[in-house]
Amino acid sequence: MNTILFLLCWISYFSTYIGRQNYSAVMAEIIASEGYLNQACGMVGTGFFICYGAGQLVSGFLGDRISPKWMIFTGLTGSAIANGIMSLLHSPQSMTIAWCINGLFQSMTWSPILRVFAEYLPAKEQKNACVNIATTYPAAVFLTYPLSSLMIYLWGWRSMFIFTCTFIGLVAVLWLCLFSFLEKKLEFQRQQNHKELLSESSTTSEKSSSHSIPVCLVIAIFFICGSLIVQGALRDGVTSWVPSYLSNTYHVGTSVAIFATTLLPAINLLGVYAANFIFRKWKKNEIQTSTILFAGSLIFLACLILTEGIHLVLSLIFFSLVTSCMMGINLMLVSFIPTNFLKRGRVSTVSGILNSTVYIGSSISTFGLGVVADLFGWSILIRFLCLFAAMGLVFCLCAIPEWKKFSSTLG
């Protein structure tokens, strides 16, 4: 039953990534076929990320108080409808409104899924579930980009939104029916987890009050949020603009550039498990692991600058390595860190706060990098990405000592 529950959560969250990455995948074709400016189309993605990030704050708070079954079902259904509407629109302004609505509905999925893991899975399986569900992002990109390329070739970019609407709608029905069945079967495990949590909380309260907020935690979260803003800017900025970068730098068609981008998720999968390996070898410290990954991304971006224009595949490899590092950082800071707050009953709340900051960076980069590309060109854009990576590295270095202090109080 645990495996079935995880797979249900996986396919549900996977479908939401399809419902947001499809726009990034077809954006280069929209720009080319409709004649819109980079920054106009970038604003559509920015609108999504702003609403998704703001929605995460609300959903994180509600996720600890409202049934995850209904929150996730509502999020999936709303996202399906928003994708269907996108296939009918004819201006960047109207697309921005529809994609903002999509962002609000999609924000209702992640925090409740983490709560499902915390309540219904045995403690020893929860970390592995967080690792494995992180594969939804690269898997979705791996499917979305070649599928979008095929859809564009056969029927045009609008057909991709029609497909996504249908797919997410079916997943929403599957979620509601199957989770209703599983929550009854797994009720004993949920009660067992609750008893263990009460026992551990009573022990931990001898060391510190569960309601107090240590100063070191506030400082650590501040720097972690800074790191996550950078992580979102690099991950989604690269994913959104790589097809346009390749098309302009190497003078290939948009469908070819979109298809070539499928190399990113293939390497991203390695990034998730490499990060988990480093985490287990490096004293199980999420911040130190993230520091190593930010340093790696800075090196790969420097290599991209040095090899720019030599060959399309070489650029793709370095872009893929950068996004792999970002996937690993996301696993550490958005998936692993909230599980430390299980005893405080704030897994969903902390997850919502951290995940929302990711999309501050995503919104900045999706629009901002389009402006940089329009005004200064693609070479300058890569140097901006290097600056982001350096900032993320500094934020993590500042967070390390404060997180160590807080970790010592967890018990």
Compute the radius of gyration of the chain from its Cα atoms: 21
CATH number of 215-410: 1.20.1250.20
Q: What is the pLDDT of residues 65-80, one digit of tens each?
A: 788 899 999 999 999 9
CA 401 to chain centre: 26
Average pLDDT over residues 250-264: 72
Domain parsing of the chain, residue ranges: 1-199, 215-410
Angle at 264 between CA 362 and CA 3, to 5 degrees: 90
DSSP secondary structure letter of residue 193 = H
CA-nearest of 263, 229, 181 to 4 is 181
Tokens of 89: 């629109």
pLDDT average, residue stretch 329-337: 89
Tell whether the model's pLDDT for residue 26 goes beyond 70.
yes
Q: How many CA atoms lie within 13 A of 66 on its CB side?
A: 16
Equal CATH topology for 1-199 and 215-410: yes
pLDDT category at 16 given cuts 50, 70, 90 is very high
pLDDT tens-place string over residues 352-384: 788 888 888 887 887 787 788 788 888 888 898
Mean pLDDT of the chain: 84
- Distance (Å, whole) CA 140 – CA 288: 28
How many Cβ atoms sit within 10 Å of the Cβ of residue 122?
12
Residues contacting residue 251 through CB under 8 Å, at least 6 positions apart: none
Distance of CA 210 to the CA centre of its chain: 29
> Sign (positive/negative) of CA torsion 12, 331, 201, 208?
negative
Whether residue 15 contacts residue 210, with contact meaning beta carbons closer than 8 Å, is answered with no
Q: Which residue has the higher pLDDT, 41 or 220?
A: 220
Q: What is the pLDDT of residues 197-223, one digit of tens each?
A: 555 555 444 444 445 677 888 899 999
One CATH from 1.20.1250.20, 1.10.1040.10, 3.90.1150.110, 1.10.10.10 for 1-199:
1.20.1250.20
Q: What is the pTM of this model?
A: 0.75
